[in-house]
Amino acid sequence: MNHPTRVLVLNSGSSSVKYQLIDMASGDRPAGGVVERIGERTGALVHRTPGDGKRRTERPFADHTAALGAVAEELSADGLGLDSPELAAIGHRVVHGGTRFTRPTWITDEVLDTLRELVPLAPLHNPANITGIEVARRLRPDLPQVAVFDTAFHATMPEHAWRYAVDRETADAYGVRRYGFHGTSHQYVSRRCAELLGRPPEAVNAIVLHLGNGASASAVRGGVCVETSMGLTPLEGLVMGTRSGDLDPAVIFHLRREAGMSLDEIDTLLNRRSGLIGLCGENDMREIGRRIAEGDADARLAFDVYTHRLRKYVGAYVAVLGRVDVLAFTAGVGENSAAVREAVAGGLGGLGIELDPDRNVLRGDAPRLVSAATSRVAVAVVPTDEEWEIASQSYALVTS
């Protein structure tokens, strides 16, 4: 019999499950989809197949068990069920690996116990990831299941980059340090950048800007991450769709004392009601662009705060790396917003970064250069593919 070559990638969030089936031999993606609004009165499952497009089911999904059961049924309907002999592994995205997990990990009972111990570090994310793993293991107890961590790629940061200047005893007792997130994306994109430049990853220094709803920057030296913008949690760093990113930590004491807000209220304020949405009531960059074109001052300010923060990080990471070969934009905003790329990378000739205005506005699905031929630093747009990265890391582990 041929070796199984397919990996099912599962990304279980608090109220959604995204999934994708990838064939590692052919690169095909025979199916994928998303279950949304799990636990709510109205739920939806959108299942995609390459041939006939989409099947949409609207009904409530009580919990992750119900949601993953429905996903398994959809896959079975096309002969791609969890019992299919072609399935080699299930690869799970797990947000926080703490300091315990710094590489793709074969999931055992012991690993699950350790993941549960890490929940206090990522209370918003890890519980859903764990539930997804538990349900998938019940559905296919004999199949290898692999956890791929958002934090793992950043584990190579030197201590002077990951350590906060906080009393060491307290920090170490509570795991207070910078971990970084979006690691699979930063890893995938930095490697694709090297391919785009036709050089081995070890020979390329990259700054990667992952700009989705969440956003983070990383500095990658020769394929190894040396700095990133997110910290203990995904709140630190860049301005995001709904998160503030960097601020003076005293803002929290001030709001607690002067506004009488509870810690939970401040948590919600900074994670869900700040960033672009806090500044202009809108977190979709497309809509912000439309409003700017109509002369909306709030949208303009939100855009300027967002891109100013990004420019500061680019400058800082040029200094961290010393020599930069490529500045890469990825994820929803990075791949699609020429205006953001222009505001971040325009006028940086002094740093050797020259954007080509014509190339910058061309659209495309493939990795591409948007810098001028004379630019010392290449500027690239590289569509991210976290599912593929999770699948390939999982497959590599179970076939090694």
- Give 205 or 360: the residue with its C-beta nearer to ligand ADP: 360
Nearer residue to ligand ADP within complex by CB, 223 or 332 = 332
Contact 132, 12 (CB under 8 A): yes
Active-site residue, 142 included: no
Q: Name which of 226 and 333 has its Cβ closer to ligand ADP.
A: 333
Here the tokens at position 307 are 């891109």
Q: Does 331 bind ligand ADP (CB under 6 A)?
A: yes
Identified catalytic residue from 63, 83, 150, 358: 150
φ/ψ of 88, rounded to 5, equals: -95, -30
Residue 369 C-beta-side C-alpha neighbours within 13 Å = 19
Judged by CB under 6 A, the residue of 127, 332, 346, 367 near ligand ADP is: 332
CA angle 225, 182, 217 (to 5 degrees): 60
Distances (CA, A) of 165 to 176, 274, 316: 10, 25, 18
Q: Does 284 bind ligand ADP (CB under 6 A)?
A: yes
- Binding ligand ADP by CB under 6 A: which of 20, 105, 233, 336? 336
Q: Which stretch binds ligand ADP (CB under 6 A): 20-28, 33-41, 206-214, 310-318?
A: 206-214
Three-state secondary-structure class, residue 25: coil
- Min dist CB 277 to ligand ADP, Å, is 10
Contact between 84 and ligand ADP per CB under 6 A: no
Tell me: does residue 241 bind ligand ADP (CB under 6 A): yes
Structure tokens at 370: 């948007």
Residue 288 parent element (H or E): helix 285-293
Say which residue the tokens 């069920």 belong to. 81
Q: Does 342 help bind ligand ADP (rule: CB under 6 A)?
A: no
Is there a contact between 14 and 64 (Cβ–Cβ < 8 Å)? no
Stretch in the footprint of ligand ADP (CB under 6 A) among 30-38, 211-219, 309-317, 388-396: 211-219
Residues known to be catalytic: 150
Binding site for ligand ADP (CB under 6 A): 212-214, 241, 283-286, 331-333, 336-337
